[in-house]
Every structure is written in structure tokens, then in C-alpha cells.
Amino acid sequence: MNDVDSPAVDSKLVRRLISGEFAITAEVTPPVAAAAAPLLEKAAVLKDCVDAVNVTDGASARVHMSSTASAAILAGAGIEPVVQFTCRDRNRIAIMSDLLGVAAQGVHNLLMLTGDDPTAGDQPDAKPVFDFASQDLIRIARQMTDKGALPSKGVKVSGDDIEPDTRPIDTPPQFFVGAADTPTAEANEGWINGLRNKIKAGAQFIQTQLCYDMDIVRRYAELLEEKGFSEHLFFLLGNGPLLSAKSAIWMRDNLWGVVMPDSVLQRLEDADDAKAEGIKLCVEQIEEMSRISGISGVHLMAPINTSSIPGVIAAAGLENRT
């Protein structure tokens, strides 16, 4: 791993990945609440069974407690967060200020995303910002960490470098920077260039969208090794316990990039207990992924089924997260 052999990051997630052990992260959606308790209640079940808890940034373009505040609350409670930053809502002044803010709260793991279209959410009249692209955010976070500097004075951030006009940072942050991808069985030019550009920008890990097609997962892992991407990035594959065929169909039809094969839907349909079958399926797929070269870990997403995640991890024999 060229980019992360010796990161200056005090992160359990980083240590797990560098050790070569199979990493596990999970996701929580911050509550629509002006209190820490609901968030901590959601995350408490994950504290000792995952390496880090990912907090979403206005997921589905809907209003929730901010990801930056949520990450700080989790860090303060001894739960390592991965904080999502989307480009949708803030200009560069606000985003860079928030990056400094989360670093001051002991938050190191970042996931840089474009963000969902506001018209799809609960505030359809909200003005989209998109002052940065996600690769700009990656590049800036790496420069903040590696060079202790911020871009300044109209520098074209999307270029190969954001120097020479910079401002020094007093006490630079220590960030471990991630990006997103969708598993594919085909190495088309768009996918290849996308990952190459993320590596060039400074990404260190990838978190993928949900994929329940193990044929695609296996081929995706082969491509990562064939193209050399697994030499530069850690890949966490999206998965999670499904509740029912109905909810799985909704995810397939409404969440961009989700891969949900008919065989999985049929298995849930035929089961006497769909929830138990969804857990069993998740365990089987995690166990297989943990043995596939090129895959560094799994990212578990179960917005209304978070309580099932510890049992899934234990059943897969991966419960020792300390």
C-alpha cells in the first residue's frame, strides 16, 4: 500500500487495514434530533464489534443532525467515526472550516462524496452548491494532512496540484481519506479512469455501494488486482442484513448503484423468516469476502436493522474488534 504504509493517523480502522486483517465498518444515519442520546443509542450496539462507524451527511438529501457534529459526538463517546463530507451543501470556505473542526475533535477518517440531488429529498427547493467535486475534497484533505496547508486565492483545485498559493495550518490535521465506488464486472474506461483519478487525488480507501451479487464481487476483486488498484487502495465492500424481499426490492429500485440479484430476492421470498434469512445471507457473503484477495473489509449498512449487525459479525467469526 504505497499511500498508507506509514500514515500519521491514530485510527483503529487504519491499524486494522495495514495489519492485513479483514476490517469492518458500519453505517448509522444521524437522527432528526437536537440531542446526542438518539445517535449514541444507535451507535452503542456497534461500539465493540466494528472498527469504525460511518455517519452520513444528509443521506438521500434529507435533513438530519450534521455528520460533523455526529462524528464529534461519537468520538467523544469512544466510538471511532468515519465522517462523510458531501459537496452538495457547502462552499469551500464552509467545507474546509468543517474539516479543521472535525480534526480538532479527534476525527481522522473521512469519506468524500458528491451528494444526492436536493430535489430528491425533503427540501426540494434547497439550492445545490457543488463548489467542489469529490476529488477536490480528497486532494485538499490530503494536502491539509501531508503539507499542513490550505489552498488560497482562487487556485484551480481540480488541477494536478493545489499549490503554490496556500495558507499554512497551525496544527495540521491527520486524515485518512476515502472515496466511493460501485462494484463492477467490467473494466470499462470510465471506471478505470475514475479510480485512477481518485488515487491521483490522494484517496487511501474505497467504500462501495451495496452489492449482493457474489459473481460481481469476485470479478470486481479480480479486476482490482489485475489493474493494480488494490496496491494503492483498501476496498471495503458494501453489504448488510436484509429485512425482507419487499425492502430489498425498494433498495434496488430507489438507491443508486445497489446490486440486488433476483436469486437473493427469491431466497427472501421463499424463506419462512425473511429477516433471519437476510442475516444468514449477509453472514455467508461476509465470510466469502473475507477470503477474497483484493478485498480489505466490509461496510455494513442496515438503516432500520442496525441491531442485527453484531450478530452477523459474530456469526461470521469476526467479532474480535479490540
Q: Is 7 among the domain residues?
A: no
Number of domains within the chain: 1
Among 224, 181, 179, 230, which Cα is nearest to 202's? 179
Phi, psi of 197 (to 5 degrees): -70, -35
Alpha-carbon gap, residue 313 to 282, rounded angstroms: 9
Q: Is 189 among the domain residues?
A: yes
Per DSSP (E only), the strands in the chain are 23-28, 52-55, 81-86, 109-113, 149-151, 166-168, 176-181, 205-210, 234-239, 297-300
Q: What is the pTM of this model?
A: 0.92
Q: Is 283 among the domain residues?
A: yes
Q: What is the CATH number of the domain that holds 56?
A: 3.20.20.220
User: Residue 257 — left, alpha, or beta (φ > 0 → left; ψ -120 to 50 → alpha)?
Assistant: left
Q: Is 67 among the domain residues?
A: yes
Q: Is 3 among the domain residues?
A: no
47-to-30, 143, 226, 310 alpha-carbon distances in Å: 15, 31, 35, 9
Domain interval for residue 61: 12-315
pLDDT of the chain, 322 residues: tens digit per residue: 444 545 567 799 999 999 999 999 999 999 999 999 999 999 999 999 999 999 999 788 789 999 999 999 999 999 999 999 999 999 999 999 999 999 999 999 999 999 888 788 788 888 888 998 999 999 999 999 999 999 876 545 555 554 557 888 999 999 999 999 999 999 999 999 999 999 999 999 999 999 999 999 999 999 999 999 999 999 999 999 999 999 999 999 988 889 999 999 999 999 999 999 999 999 999 999 999 999 999 999 997 889 999 999 999 999 776 6
Q: Is 265 among the domain residues?
A: yes
Q: Is 321 among the domain residues?
A: no
Q: Is 179 among the domain residues?
A: yes
Alpha-carbon gap, residue 145 to 80, rounded angstroms: 19
